[in-house]
Structure 1
Amino acid sequence: MKLTSIPQLYRNLRRGREILRVLRRYGLADWISRTRRLPLQNWIKDRSGVPLTQYTRSQRIRMAITELGPTFIKVGQVLAARPDLVGNEIAEELKQLRNEVSPDSMEVVEATLAEELGPNFRKHFRHIEPVPLATASIGQVHRAELMDGQRVVLKVQRRGIEKMMREDLDVLEGLAQWADHVESLAIWGPSDMVRQLMPMILRELDFNRERSNLKQFAQILESDQAEIAIPSVFDQLCTRRVLVMEEMVGEPLAKIFERDDSDTTGESTEMTRADLPPELGRTLARTYLRM
């Protein structure tokens, strides 16, 4: 291990211990699962009481990431799109990761809005729905209505998430430097992987980047407004930790591939990509290339 990695592990000792405890637990389960004759097969269990050895290695990786919390869930979601780094099997498993985090209370959300938009932030909103529309690793989204009646969605950064993520990434960088010297782990290029991931994740902490991207996409796709809609943003209500954009109601693209045929059998059939309407396919391809 490089000496430079030691301060990174000890700088956030408490969190480092938590991370190491989870990694050790799932790592031991991985070892036990390959040693069939040990009398410890059912010793380490998940929260439901199911022995971890009954899961595949890829499943245990996903479970460990989920248990480690928001930062690692975000890392896992990024890695899900990088089978070149983690392999196809693990990448497919990581696609199942969800942002299994509890939302901030409305009081905490309002405190963040007061810090970002000023103590009189309520003058901009007729109503903010207290129950989040969605909760993710970095932020949560609430439906809201501006004073002029415009329906919007309000994205607010989770309280303390930047500090947590920087601490976790600091520990992760130290662990990666250690892993570089473990033969079975070095083949993954841990330090190189972390160096690629860190700036990608930290950029997401600045909502101004997302606002800029929305405006840039709208400009690029201006000639395709009949087919592509980009939500407008309200610059005067946007900050590094708050993003307010036009509410757009729609259906996830994945739903197109889940068609429920109302035939007499009551059976549902799944749409294949070959069934994708040609017009939609052309629009998606053209939009992707233009962006």
Structure 2
Amino acid sequence: MRYVVHGAGAVGGVIGGLLHRAGRPVTLVARGAHLAAIRESGLQLDTGDGVVAVVTPATDRVAEVEWTPDTAVILAVKSHQAMDALADLRDHAPSSTPVVCATNGIATELAALRLFARVYALCVMLPSTHLEPGRVVAKCHPTPGILDIGRIPGGTDPLTDAVSTDLRAAGFVSQERTDISAWKRRKLLLNVGNGVDASFEQGDAADELNRRAVDEGERVLAAAGLAVVTADEDRERRGDLLRRREDLPAAGGSTWQSLQRGTGDSEVDYLAGEISLQGRLRGIATPACDAIVEVTRRLAAGRGRPRSLDAHDVLAGLGPVAD
């Protein structure tokens, strides 16, 4: 397989870099200062084995990609950037191109399926950071991540087998899943607290706000009749595979990184905001998720400092949990 990694940030950069190291042809799609640094010195991939320069084609225009019948796209942009990326792919990639969504949330796959017939999902368990142009960091070693794959809306096929095989060759743990959407929804419940991690001082109040948001997510997805793997199944899948590197400074998740880089936006609308959406569709109140979205939007737009707010203020506005 050949790969076009659309979004060579933390997740996409680590996936693309390690696939390249495993001998798979990779083209990275990036932009701005990050692309300029990659073109000048290669993508600096920091793993537990040291830092290597990944020298591979890089572009900000999908129109420049040399498309072949064995090329697959790994879409690894933030969820709020996916529509622009998909439109770019629609205009320049063959309609038969398989699109593998390595995004958070559950919205990108359906958006991709509107444009491409062959759409797949990765359930991404890949702690990583991208805080400076040209450099990405895999935060776990020796296994950098768990990347299970399945077809949308369900099932597996020769493509899932080929991609999973390549990911394992690159050092990831990966298996095919006929029910990948159920795994993605559990991952969504883990990510509803990304806005809490990004916006609020760590402590008991932040933990309580996160717990309320997850509880809302559990209720909403159950009311929607959507299959979700259990928390126990998720913990069993992770086991002790992902071991955090002790040589790295503490850093937050993907939404925290957006605030830290001062991008002015984040994907919170597709994380806690997804629970808000699903609740509104079914007349179910989601006050904790609504508050997380509102606060994180404001903090990102104002380029505020990550973890600078007090979750007690939000909890006071929410009041006690309804029975």
Q: Same fold (TM over 0.5)?
A: no
Give the number of the structure whose alpha-carbon radius of gyration is greater: 1
TM-score of the pair, normalised by structure 1: 0.31
Q: Which structure has greater strand proportion?
A: 2
Q: Which has the higher helix share?
A: 1
